[in-house]
């Protein structure tokens, strides 16, 4: 039986999230931290959701014969754009 009670500490939450990323089971984590399964499950599922990456292509609305870019997809694509390199005017030569 688990002896610890109360809210999880920051260190315990970090331990759970890191071990959730590598695929360690809830039972093993609960045994390591000496905590009940219910306390671990909530933090474990949140860590798995954070680990899943959201793709821009998942944010499009697709209907039969039509695809619409949502506001969320637009903002995600804007944030991932690379900044183009600006050429200085000293390097540009005009042809006479």
pTM value is 0.51
Tokens of 21: 């990323």
Is 13 within 8 Å of 40 (Cβ atoms)?
Answer: no
Question: Beta-carbon neighbour count of residue 8 at 10 Å?
Answer: 17
Tokens of 88: 């200085």
Extract the residue ranges of the chain whose pLDDT is less than 50: none
Q: What is the pLDDT of residues 75-91, one digit of tens each?
A: 888 877 776 666 666 77
- The pLDDT value recorded for residue 87 is 64
Residue 14 phi, psi dihedral angles, 5° rounding: -65, -45
């Amino acid at each position: 039986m688990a002896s610890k009670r109360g809210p999880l500490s920051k260190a315990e939450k970090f331990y759970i999230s890191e071990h959730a990323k590598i695929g360690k089971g809830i039972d093993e984590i609960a045994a390591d931290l000496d905590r009940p399964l219910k306390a671990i499950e909530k933090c474990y599922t949140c860590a798995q959701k954070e680990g899943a990456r959201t793709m821009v292509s998942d944010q499009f609305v697709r209907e039969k014969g039509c695809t619409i870019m949502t506001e969320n997809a637009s903002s995600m694509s804007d944030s991932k754009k690379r900044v183009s390199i600006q050429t200085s005017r000293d390097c540009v030569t005009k042809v006479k």
